[in-house]
Structure 1
Amino acid sequence: MSTPPFLALLDPSGSTLLPSLALLGPVLIPAALVRAALPTLPSQATYYVQAENSSEDLISFLDNGAQKIVVSLQQLQELGGQVPKERLILKLAEEELTTAKDLVQQVSSMYLVSSQPHTTKSLGLKGVEVFVQNDTAKPAELLELIRTSRPATYVIPTENLAASPQTTSTHLSITEAFLAPIISDRPDGLFPTIVSSSSHSIKPLGLVYSSKESVSEAILTQKGVYQSRKHGLWRKGETSGAVQELVSVKTDCDSDALVFEVVQHGSGFCHLPQSTCFGNFTGISKLEDTLRSRLESAPEGSYTKRLFTDEKLLRSKIMEEAEELCDATTKEEVAFEAADLVYFALARCISKGVSLKDVEKALDSKSLKITRRKGDAKPKWEEKINGGDKEVKADSKPTEPIPKSFPEVDESRIKMRNVVLSKLNKEENKKLLLRPVLNSLAMIDKVKPIVERVRKEGDDGLKAMTKQFDKAELSSNVMLPPFATPDEDQLPPDVKAAIDVAYNNVKTFHTAQAEKEPLIVETMPGVQCSRFVRPIARVGIYVPGGTAILPSTAIMLGVPAQVAGCKTIVLATPPRPDGSISPEVLYVAKLVGVTCILKAGGAQAVGAMAYGTEEVPKVDKIFGPGNQWVTAAKMLVQNDTDALVAIDMPAGPSEVLVIADHTANPVFVASDLLSQAEHGTDSQVVLVGISLTPKLLEEIEEQIDIQAKALPRVAIAREAIKKSVIVLVDSQKEAIEFSNEYAPEHLILHLEDAVKAVDGIENAGSVFVGAFSPESCGDYASGTNHTLPTNGFARQFSGVNTLSFQKHITSQLVSSDGLRVLGPSVVRLAEREGLEAHANAVRVRLAVLDK
């Protein structure tokens, strides 16, 4: 039988210990203090009520959430079998033990007050749980009793307990009391520890190890703290931000293994991109995560979005599916209809902020009730079943079509529309080249107050907005070097190695772009002109973050700044709720020599870098992608002469154009199109097909459908593909001409001679040449930069490169002989423009030379 190591008898002075005690098992509360104590208990806490001196209705305590009640002998007799014995603990004095043996069939547990140490065996009680309260033992003696008295459980008043790591002469340490009976059969003394999610009870998050030191700290801090076999104490999320709130600590039946129930924050528990160390969640847990994600990101107008916003639609679906479940007869039908009902019922829960764990708590609460209502249906439903409701008919049709079953398993084909370029008129051709209209002026108006607040309030305003938008309360807005290298628990070796590969490749390519020597030209005898580069002294690089981890963007912006020789590099990225920065980005920041990390995101980060604060250095140019708020803020500050700041380029939704001929592999082509489609519903995806046979075109379309439906972000990809197009042309020349007009961010060439085709490319952010050059390589690690012009700006802008972080300065050296030759032409042109001072500056020098 598994029991907590001790129960805490709550006295009025012990309420401060409740959070720690509630982690370890049921808390015993005197009936007189229940109403005062319950509001201070964590919502998930289990409690018993000590009612043996209470005249109140004992069953009401059980109905209102108490798992068990401690009763006197008289109260047990008065209850007369109304309460299941599993809910009753009988409290006796030592002299009443003889009576107790006759009552073991009526209760599940005995509670003995004794001055002597006892075990279940010594008491002669079998088949019942035994609690012992020894009021004469000192703290150290109690600790030994707890260690040796298993399976009896010792009850310790809170006045004798302390939330401290060690027992003193006057108080028993809560953590030592919990750890006392736990044993380890491992040579290193560690305890295998299963970590489970308090919101997903079906599958554990992972298996780790605990030590007495880690358990003690976990209980005292109420955080997930474990023992790494290589690195000592492992405080989960200390650098990654993926912290854990500790909900409970339990032992197994043999007291040699632990279970930590936690609330997991941030990117998750496993270092791999999966829900748990044992794979992803399935079934209802997976559905819960999916619906929560859809609540945040479902596109406007989509069916899922309507479920969350249209109360009447969701209400009608729940009632419809409930009726269909009642009408189902076969095993398969019942399972199918039950799944539908669960889906829509859970959508209702998620829309109201209710989790599966909340539902489980409600079920547990209902199971604790002793008093039950009459088990019949409410009158209006009895009337429906008996045919009294004439409005609801079996063959009634909804006023608008409502999809059957889950929208997430929509099996309709994911398909791009097709057009033949030669059949389009001039206007239709022009429309193909258009991107979504971005209302820049409206967004700039929205970000103005944010930027202005940073400008006026400085660091205080920035902290306030970081708390408001990123839910992080910071003592400082910045982190300064030296930055610690994350250990293996935060940054696994394979991830670190991948970052190193990307960093080295990008650095190699961007180093080659740097101009090694000044350009020197003698334009005429005695006149020497030159041009040389200098780094932009202070640059800001924006790395979108928060819940996302984007070390690739930090590399793509940090490396060219490093190679260019920028003296001040401010890396801005949103912090996690605990104020930390992801270890991946932190590691890159150290590699590229970042001089300041600004823990802020959005328009407020742009404003801080543009104008500077006491903590944040002002920069001269801001780089980096971001959402429409970031883009609008960049556009705002670049046009403010007080800011004196430049930006890299205007930004819009990500886009790809793929040119494919008869040699193209349909699997590769589809994967390239979808790699952009999953970015967002506004992503721009275009396939230009050169004389594709109907069979090849069908294979490409089939692969788009198959691969899209296998993506976790299938709903986003589906919406993007709906607005995407396959443009069919007759020749490679026609395809390249269309591409040059479109000027895509990413251009991928699936052509028989892709290398030769590059000669014809005039407008593109970056070109991916051949079947084995996926855009993903350029996004991460081949060496080229992934910060590229979108929205057709590839006609005017280059992608970010080393020269983006530098400026050119020209100089001229004119000798006396050179001025004699050049001077008369300068004088004549200045006179022609009416600028006599310009002309005079040359005349006075020529006059000296003529003497």
Structure 2
Amino acid sequence: MTFPLLPLLAPCNIASTPDLSVVGHTLIGPVSTSQDVATVKDYISANFGLVEFSVQVTSAIDIDDIISLLDTGADAVFPETDEQAIALFEIGIPGSRVVFPGEDYDDVKGVYVTSSALTPDLASKLSKSVLADGTGSQKLYVTFSATPTLEQVKKITALPAIPIIPAEALTTDPAATDKLSVAAVFSSALTTDRPDGYFSTVVVDTQGVALGLVYSSEESIAQAIKARAGVYQSRKRGLWFKGATSGAVQTLVRLELDCDGDCVKFVVQQAGKGFCHLDTTTCFGKSGGMPALERTLVSRLENAPAGSYTRRLFSDEKLLSAKIMEEAEELTTAKSKDEIAWEFADLLYFGMTKAVEAGVSWADVERNLDSKAKKITRRKGDAKQKWIDAAKKAAETPEKPAPNTESTSSSAIVNGAVKQADNRESTGRIQLTRVDVSDISESELTELLRRPAQKNANIMNLVGPIVEAVRTRGDVALLEFTAKFEKAKLKSPVLKAPFPPELMELDQETKDAIDLSFENVLKFHAGQLESAPLVVETVPGVVCSRFSRPIESVGLYVPGGTAILPSTALMLGVPALVAGCKNIVFASPPRSDGTLTPEVVYVAHKVGAAAIVLAGGAQAVAAMAYGTESVPKVNKILGPGNQFVTAAKMLVQNDTSALVSIDMPAGPSEVLVVADKKANPAFVASDLLSQAEHGVDSQVILIGVDLNEAELQAIEDEVHEQAMRLPRVEIVRGAIAHSRTFQVKTVEQAIALSNKYAPEHLILQLESASKYVDLVQHAGSVFVGAWSPESCGDYSSGTNHTLPTYGYATVYSGVNTHSFMKHLTSQELTPEGLKKIGGAVVRLATVEGLDAHGNAVRVRLEHLAK
């Protein structure tokens, strides 16, 4: 039988093994010193579960060091001498973990010999006794005294045996001629009886779940190894690079063969919706077990509605801890087969909930289980004394003791360079997690800058039917959704202008504040208007121009949710007014009594809105995109909202029948504050909290420039003390739980880090802050200096607060006057101008094969030539 392993002997280049070992096992060595042992152990620990390792040890390595290699996760060891191998057997090391050097193969699972010693008689003898036990567990390994040729390798794999080839003699580039191709060596063990020469191929994920059945060829295998990706052989279309068009790409983990060498197994990490062209995870229907549970919990982590039991489990650590301890206790007292199965399933469910909440995958758990299975040294195995006592007490007492769910500490704990804050207790300290940037890697920094997850694979499945219902059923569907989601029963989904005065009654102070903000926003956005069209004469007689026109009809979405946002109505309505949009339509979810907040109605009145759609969410977006019996169709939809609003906006934008555009994708609100030693801790804390109160999915970031412990502590104290005085403190607590303080040495480092994050709001609480603005490349809006709080931009300074979030500041601008306009270009040519560029036009049209294009110029030039 042939084995899907290619052991690699790489004594000088351990770092090269992952790329080469994609087709099998990696043999590292020879290991000659204690330092070599430490190096190999570190490498195995760092890569365990990604690559399988064995280690070749010399006679200089003692038995304890060899055992430590096996404990760390080495699959097997290749001792240099018989004495070492025998000593390992005598102390009870399993024969499957030791590959014996030479011909004495009794009671062992593997032997290795040199090719020069492998005479036909010995090969026959080894094949009959070592390889013919029928279990597939015994293996023959063959080394070479010099770098082998591919023909020599093929003779070894035909025995069958496993060649050990130096890493420096191998390459993943199939076109290379100076080294052996890994793909060629792997393919040398393949057989097929198909006329086209293709090999049946099963594709599985890293948890062993079968994704689908495809075909491979020697060429596709070579390309897969080179690209470390899923590349297969289509019987109709040639090479098939999985995910090239769909985005559901695969990272190749390793290739394996079946026992007969006529079927290939691809082990892959699958991205995107899944393997199947039907957008399912596998081609064999739904999978079950822990992978299915994990997918369900990940989905619930992202989408479970507030107040649901699952959401409570994810947000209340005390509750989740109590459930885990409760289920563990119930498992210990279970007696019958069914009862044990039931309680064990419950324990796995709640344990997996904790894992998902912490970002731990089932694959991570399996790697740890595999690691434990590799250990040779056994612990004594006694339980901790407190659990021994608890078990004794439980045996003596009929009642079950109440689980202890009290938090052990509310103070910060130190984990490497990250000082992790504990915000779990509802009365505990509210504190950002500290990160010293100088002590972490670039990849770790990237991970720590990641926003809380917002997108999920099911969001379009939820939004799509709502949008379709409104598109096809109009007002009826819109009223039904408003009754369902807003608990408001309406006769009409639209409030049309002129709006009744009683719906916008406000106290004078609020009205004055709106009026002042209105004027400032109006002034700033009016300043963005072009004073005249752009006119450029590119050559004499050819005049090109660019001029703007307003978008005729715009829909402005004003969220409701956890806060009333008349400021959003201002930030959307005023630039629409300035741009000259003829038809301005607001949409905002009504209160349960069917009315809107009077502030929003007042702003709609001031900007001259034609109507207000009394709806929120995806249904409001759909109504404005397609129009209903009462809601006028718009050409562009602008405004922030939750993930359902964002998904609906993106959906209708991609529907050509809607013919509607949107402003930008949107996510939760966020702020990044850069503070130096001169910054006032109270000011810094107040800016952080001004965004944290938006929602539990908001994120706030502090970058402290050369701040010492006392200065950091002063800011942290202010964050906690100010937060505890806020009515939305629980929302703040949720946002702070995934927020960070990054410690850097210089302002330049701080702004470079900010550019990497690309915040919605950037606040520079720095001495001489204005001189650093030129360094800012990515931000929605910048607030310069200690006296420029983000709140002023939200309401009254004049700039717009509808800004790109979730990192989109790298490619999007915030809403502005030009968001409500489009630009047209024109060109006017004189006869002289046509003569100057006509020849170039005709030539380029000819190159492109568009003769009618060239002819339109040619007939004019011929006319001028008469």
Structure 1 length as normaliser, TM-score?
0.54
1:627 and 2:639 are equivalent in the alignment: no
1:531 corresponds in structure 2 to 546
1:659 corresponds in structure 2 to 674
Pick aligned residue for 2:692 from 677, 682, 685: 677
2:833 corresponds in structure 1 to 818
2:465 corresponds in structure 1 to 449
User: Does structure 1 conserve the Cα–Cα contact (< 8 Å) formed by 2:763 and 2:785?
Assistant: yes
Q: Describe how 1:104-183 pairs up with structure 2 within 5 A.
A: none
Pick aligned residue for 1:434 from 442, 450, 454: 450
Pick aligned residue for 1:579 from 578, 583, 594: 594
2:495 corresponds in structure 1 to 479
> Hey, what's the Cα distance between the residues in 1 that align with 2:440 and 2:573?
45
1:378 corresponds in structure 2 to none
> Hey, what's the Cα distance between the residues in 2 that align with 1:556 and 1:699?
35
1:557 corresponds in structure 2 to 572
Aligned residues: 484
User: CA 1:403/1:762 → structure 2, altered by over 3 Å: closer, same or farther?
Assistant: closer
> Hey, what's the Cα distance between the residues in 2 that align with 1:675 and 1:539?
30
Q: Describe how 1:206-355 pairs up with structure 2 within 5 A.
A: 300-303=313-316, 306=319
Pick aligned residue for 1:495 from 510, 516, 520: 510
- Per the TM alignment, residue 501 of structure 1 is displaced from its structure 2 partner at its CA by 1.0
> Hey, what's the Cα distance between the residues in 1 that align with 2:482 and 2:743?
49
2:784 corresponds in structure 1 to 769
> Hey, what's the Cα distance between the residues in 1 that align with 2:593 and 2:561?
11
2:432 corresponds in structure 1 to 416
User: CA 1:693/1:760 → structure 2, altered by over 3 Å: closer, same or farther?
Assistant: same
Taking only aligned residues, the RMSD between alpha carbons, in angstroms, comes to 3.1
> Gaps spanning 5+ residues in structure 2: where?
1-305, 327-395, 411-422
Worse-matched range after superposition: 794-803 or 689-698:
689-698
User: Does structure 1 conserve the Cα–Cα contact (< 8 Å) formed by 2:483 and 2:490?
Assistant: yes
SS in 2 for 1:516: coil
> What amino acid sits opposite 1:301 in the alignment?
F
> Hey, what's the Cα distance between the residues in 2 that align with 1:452 and 1:737?
44
2:402 corresponds in structure 1 to 398
Instruction: Give deviations 1:740-785, integer Å, cap 9, x for gaps.
Output: 1111000000111111111111100000111011111111111111
User: Does structure 2 conserve the Cα–Cα contact (< 8 Å) formed by 1:547 and 1:576?
Assistant: no
Q: Describe how 1:16-95 pairs up with structure 2 within 5 A.
A: none
1:567 corresponds in structure 2 to 582
> Hey, what's the Cα distance between the residues in 1 that align with 2:456 and 2:737?
25
- Per the TM alignment, residue 391 of structure 1 is displaced from its structure 2 partner at its CA by 4.9
1:844 corresponds in structure 2 to 859
- Per the TM alignment, residue 303 of structure 1 is displaced from its structure 2 partner at its CA by 3.5
User: Does structure 1 conserve the Cα–Cα contact (< 8 Å) formed by 2:479 and 2:490?
Assistant: yes
> Hey, what's the Cα distance between the residues in 1 that align with 2:398 and 2:680?
54
User: Does structure 2 conserve the Cα–Cα contact (< 8 Å) formed by 1:294 and 1:305?
Assistant: no
User: Does structure 2 conserve the Cα–Cα contact (< 8 Å) formed by 1:677 and 1:717?
Assistant: yes
1:735 corresponds in structure 2 to 750
> Hey, what's the Cα distance between the residues in 1 that align with 2:693 and 2:612?
29
2:476 corresponds in structure 1 to 460
Q: Describe how 1:689-838 pairs up with structure 2 within 5 A.
A: 689-838=704-853
Instruction: Give deviations 1:2-36, integer Å, cap 9, x for gaps.
Output: xxxxxxxxxxxxxxxxxxxxxxxxxxxxxxxxxxx
User: CA 1:297/1:697 → structure 2, altered by over 3 Å: closer, same or farther?
Assistant: farther
User: CA 1:544/1:686 → structure 2, altered by over 3 Å: closer, same or farther?
Assistant: same
Moved over 6 A (4+): 293-298, 307-313, 406-409
| Percent of aligned positions that are identical | 57
> What amino acid sits opposite 2:590 in the alignment?
P
User: Does structure 1 conserve the Cα–Cα contact (< 8 Å) formed by 2:452 and 2:738?
Assistant: no
User: Does structure 1 conserve the Cα–Cα contact (< 8 Å) formed by 2:318 and 2:406?
Assistant: no
> Hey, what's the Cα distance between the residues in 2 that align with 1:442 and 1:776?
35
User: Does structure 1 conserve the Cα–Cα contact (< 8 Å) formed by 2:692 and 2:735?
Assistant: yes
Worse-matched range after superposition: 437-446 or 457-466:
437-446
> Hey, what's the Cα distance between the residues in 2 that align with 1:583 and 1:634?
26
> Gaps spanning 5+ residues in structure 1: where?
1-292, 314-389
User: CA 1:297/1:510 → structure 2, altered by over 3 Å: closer, same or farther?
Assistant: farther
> Hey, what's the Cα distance between the residues in 2 that align with 1:532 and 1:435?
39
> Hey, what's the Cα distance between the residues in 2 that align with 1:659 and 1:308?
37
User: CA 1:577/1:682 → structure 2, altered by over 3 Å: closer, same or farther?
Assistant: closer
User: Does structure 1 conserve the Cα–Cα contact (< 8 Å) formed by 2:316 and 2:424?
Assistant: no
User: Does structure 2 conserve the Cα–Cα contact (< 8 Å) formed by 1:658 and 1:747?
Assistant: yes
> What amino acid sits opposite 1:842 in the alignment?
V
Structure 2 length as normaliser, TM-score?
0.53
User: CA 1:486/1:297 → structure 2, altered by over 3 Å: closer, same or farther?
Assistant: farther
2:607 corresponds in structure 1 to 592
- Per the TM alignment, residue 725 of structure 1 is displaced from its structure 2 partner at its CA by 1.1
> What amino acid sits opposite 2:828 in the alignment?
L
> What amino acid sits opposite 2:804 in the alignment?
P
User: CA 1:298/1:677 → structure 2, altered by over 3 Å: closer, same or farther?
Assistant: farther
Instruction: Give deviations 1:641-699, integer Å, cap 9, x for gaps.
Output: 11111111011111111111111100100111111112222211111111112221111
User: Does structure 1 conserve the Cα–Cα contact (< 8 Å) formed by 2:322 and 2:403?
Assistant: no
User: Does structure 1 conserve the Cα–Cα contact (< 8 Å) formed by 2:556 and 2:584?
Assistant: yes
> Hey, what's the Cα distance between the residues in 1 that align with 2:502 and 2:562?
18
SS in 2 for 1:447: helix
> Hey, what's the Cα distance between the residues in 1 that align with 2:687 and 2:562?
25
Worse-matched range after superposition: 796-805 or 427-436:
427-436
- Per the TM alignment, residue 403 of structure 1 is displaced from its structure 2 partner at its CA by 6.1
> What amino acid sits opposite 2:651 in the alignment?
L
User: Does structure 2 conserve the Cα–Cα contact (< 8 Å) formed by 1:746 and 1:766?
Assistant: yes
> Hey, what's the Cα distance between the residues in 2 that align with 1:419 and 1:304?
23
User: Does structure 2 conserve the Cα–Cα contact (< 8 Å) formed by 1:486 and 1:587?
Assistant: no
SS in 2 for 1:301: helix
- Per the TM alignment, residue 298 of structure 1 is displaced from its structure 2 partner at its CA by 7.6
Instruction: Give deviations 1:301-330, integer Å, cap 9, x for gaps.
Output: 3339949998999xxxxxxxxxxxxxxxxx
SS in 2 for 1:841: helix
- Per the TM alignment, residue 549 of structure 1 is displaced from its structure 2 partner at its CA by 2.5
- Per the TM alignment, residue 577 of structure 1 is displaced from its structure 2 partner at its CA by 2.1
Instruction: Give deviations 1:73-125, integer Å, cap 9, x for gaps.
Output: xxxxxxxxxxxxxxxxxxxxxxxxxxxxxxxxxxxxxxxxxxxxxxxxxxxxx
User: Does structure 2 conserve the Cα–Cα contact (< 8 Å) formed by 1:440 and 1:632?
Assistant: no
SS in 2 for 1:513: coil
User: Does structure 1 conserve the Cα–Cα contact (< 8 Å) formed by 2:318 and 2:405?
Assistant: no
**Structure with greater Cα Rg:** 1
User: CA 1:296/1:654 → structure 2, altered by over 3 Å: closer, same or farther?
Assistant: farther
SS in 2 for 1:515: coil
SS in 1 for 2:687: helix
1:638 corresponds in structure 2 to 653
> Hey, what's the Cα distance between the residues in 1 that align with 2:624 and 2:790?
31
- Per the TM alignment, residue 397 of structure 1 is displaced from its structure 2 partner at its CA by 5.5
> Hey, what's the Cα distance between the residues in 1 that align with 2:723 and 2:545?
54
> What amino acid sits opposite 1:645 in the alignment?
V
- Per the TM alignment, residue 443 of structure 1 is displaced from its structure 2 partner at its CA by 0.7
> Hey, what's the Cα distance between the residues in 2 that align with 1:309 and 1:554?
45
> What amino acid sits opposite 1:701 in the alignment?
E
